[in-house]
Structure 1
Amino acid sequence: MARSIGEVGVDDLVEAGLPREAAAEFERTLRESVARARRSGTPSPGLELDPREVWRELASAGALKPSHPHRVHQLVYYSVYSGWDASARGPPLYWFPSLSQSKETNLGRLMESHGRKLLGSSYKDPITSFSLFQKFSAEHPDVYWSMALNELSLSFRRPPSCILDSSDKSKPRGTWLPGAVFNIAECCLLPSQQQRRGDDSIALVWRDEGYDHMNVNRMTLKELREQVMLVANALDATFSKGDAIAIDMPMTVHAVIIYLAIVLGGFVVISIADSFAPKEIASRLHISKAKGIFTQDFIQRGGRKFPLY
């Protein structure tokens, strides 16, 4: 079992990779953060103080930095949460958004738009009212998911007859969105006022393998849509709707375009890991009955070229 955060000292931090002077400064910040958490927080079940408050204080103080050795991050994290019962409470939390950050998330915007109408005066903000809002969503799935689907700007070819059909008792969890038909790639590629996504919005950001010294590349939603439609139209002229099309490529911008194009065109995507040996690739093509495959001759890793198949 990891030692508690109160037992971590300068020698432990030095052993984890910090110079002694930096370790002494870090240890002071650590003690101050624990003291603030003790004053402001409430004890956690079975613990002297809430480790989430300790971690929150450490994050606010900027104690851990990217330049610190990974072992320092591990030491502090596991020491803070040494008494945390993950089986009962889930994994220990690492990141706590600020109130302003929480309001900029998809869920935060949804809560700010509808929270007061649904919860009345009980609603405060996305952080304080998170558990209350989550409980409402579980107890009123029709109301919550109607709002969520609208916020996500899903464009249905055929809308569902309801959100959740619980009439069939042989399906204890019911049937979600019965009768609905939509193309998820189409939803990804269209502008959305709710999502604040326009044609000029950046849709993809990437850097090509072997070009770490170069600036990242960017593609707008309009540019992505044009590329996807180009590939989708080519597929439509060659294959039949419902055909299985495989992709055996690394995760590149081209693979993203191809994946969306296969879905947009009404075909079935067969994803094959680029690490598979030729025999495994052939096996998956046979099992899926793929009618076509997108691939490349080789992949680049660390400046070297490796045959893909």
Structure 2
Amino acid sequence: MSGVGDVYCWPTNLGWVMGPILLFSCFLTGATLALYHGSPLGRGFGKFVQDAGVTVLGTVPSLVKTWKNTDCIKGLDWTKIKSFASTGETSNVDDDLWLSSKSYYKPIIECCGGTELASSYIQSSLFQPQAFGAFSTASMTTGLVILDEHGVPYPDDKACVGEVGLFPLYLGATDRLLNTDHNDVYFKGMPTFKGMRLRRHGDILKRTVGGYIVVQGRADDTMNLGGIKTSSVEIERVCDRADQSILETAAVSVAPPDGGPELLVIFVVLKKGFNQQPEKLKTIFSKTIQTNLNPLFKVSNVKIIPEFPRTASNKLLRRVLRDQIQHELSVRSRM
């Protein structure tokens, strides 16, 4: 993707796999690494990308969403960019289209992996036709299957949705952990395939009819609503577009303290300058979810908050939101 004469820029963190990959990529290819001091969320970063002549720009989907919704790069010239890259979260197709348009619809290379894998296990490739928000191939040395709810792999040519199982021989993957048992974390309880114990990664993948792969979120972000399994990402995709006041949403499900079906709760961050009532959003979300996903899904609660909790690499921490609402429900049940 890059080489001598290219300028590489990617807001990231050296404690996360993308930081070392970025450094070594530039050292190995002779590309220039553009370093920005400050937050990548505002116009200052956008102008830096322009002035530094960045040719390869890495992103995180939530960054792109912020740039798009705040219109902070309006009037800037990003046309030197030859390709974009995206990792850290599942991408939004509309946001990807907007980003690509900033440089004559250049491709966006999607990457999905983890620090414990030393890189991506699925990614996009410039040697193949691409689709926004999707992956076209497994990475080098990666073997994988998509498992059904019984842990049985689907055929490789079948359109399906399920948890990914990685082949255990994987270049760069960890073989030990400092503070816990490596086997318990990555292999215990996983099914075997062709005599191999599969490695756990925790992503839910969707393979399309055309063979593209779309990440549906984490296995621990899967929810059971009225006996039907769905993912947080699917719900968030339709809710993000439900009203012009919405910057982003996060969907979690929690079990009621006194038992019963899981409750769907939508957390919302509003765009700057907008006001909205939770009850009105609850009605809007219920309608759009029932129209676009399933008529049986019901929104139990909507909470508007100023910002979402995130990791240092900007990943959304749904677990924190889930724990928060679970605590609130527990307190109410004791009153």
TM over 0.5: no
TM-score by length of 2: 0.28
TM-score by length of 1: 0.30
More helix by share: 1
More strand by share: 2
* Rg (Cα) greater in structure: 1
